[in-house]
């Protein structure tokens, strides 16, 4: 009887947690073209790989190339229904192909285009997946944000980076 009660209680607790989501992830799976927007400046570009070989997780991943300019990919996260969003964080995984490279992760409030957080600063080793984490930020009163990975040719030579698994979470 005691075990049954515990299981029932856990089921109720889990259901409550799912009813108030404070987490969303995007690994470029499914209809990624409906969610992601690419932007570039100068000699740079980006895209999505769907070969099932290069992703950190699943089949698909994004990539950026910068040969002198900058390249970025962004998507919108709707957070208006999140229960508590005073203490939030964005994360993604990146894998540089040419050399150790610095990735930047930005979180923008499109209402006035306010930069809420700029994460990264860590150099990611070549050929390895490594997670970049933003600093914490407050999304109170914010209905949606844009989370963006952006890269420039910081070594003045062409750079390619694969990335995957964006996550936005409020604690
Ligand atoms: Ca993926």
Cα 100 versus chain centre, distance: 20
Task: Name 169's Cβ contacts closer than 8 Å, sequence gap at least 6.
Answer: 22, 23, 24, 88, 89, 90, 91
Tokens 């995007």 — which residue? 26
pLDDT computed for residue 45 by the predictor: 94
Distance 141 CA to ligand 1 centre (A): 30
pLDDT computed for residue 123 by the predictor: 64
Q: Which domains does the chain have, with CATH numbers?
A: 22-170 (2.60.120.260)
Distance 64 CA to ligand 1 centre (A): 15
pLDDT computed for residue 17 by the predictor: 45
pLDDT in tens, the chain (171 residues): 455 554 444 444 444 444 567 999 999 999 999 999 999 999 999 999 999 999 999 999 999 998 888 999 999 999 999 999 999 999 999 998 877 666 788 999 999 999 999 877 566 678 889 888 889 999 999 999 999 999 887 666 788 899 999 999 999
pLDDT computed for residue 100 by the predictor: 67
Distance 52 CA to ligand 1 centre (A): 9
Distance 143 CA to ligand 1 centre (A): 26
Distance 158 CA to ligand 1 centre (A): 24
Distance 32 CA to ligand 1 centre (A): 10
Distance 112 CA to ligand 1 centre (A): 31
**CA-wise closest residue to 27 among 60, 52, 63, 49:** 60
pLDDT computed for residue 10 by the predictor: 46
Distance 48 CA to ligand 1 centre (A): 10
């Amino acid at each position: 009887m005691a075990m049954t009660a515990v299981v029932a209680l856990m089921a109720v607790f889990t259901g409550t947690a799912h009813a108030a989501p404070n987490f969303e992830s995007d690994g470029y799976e499914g209809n990624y073209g409906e969610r992601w927007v690419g932007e570039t400046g100068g000699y740079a570009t980006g895209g999505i790989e769907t070969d099932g070989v290069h992703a950190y997780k699943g089949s698909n991943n994004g990539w950026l190339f910068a040969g002198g300019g900058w390249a970025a990919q962004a998507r919108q996260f709707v957070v208006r229904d999140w229960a508590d969003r005073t203490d939030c964080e964005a994360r993604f995984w990146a894998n540089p192909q040419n050399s150790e490279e610095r990735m930047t992760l930005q979180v923008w409030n499109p209402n006035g285009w306010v930069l809420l957080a700029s994460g990264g600063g860590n150099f990611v080793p070549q050929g390895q997946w490594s997670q970049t984490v933003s600093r914490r930020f407050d999304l109170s009163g914010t209905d949606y944000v844009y989370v963006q990975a952006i890269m420039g040719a910081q070594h003045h030579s062409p750079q390619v980076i694969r990335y995957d698994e964006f996550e936005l979470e409020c604690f």
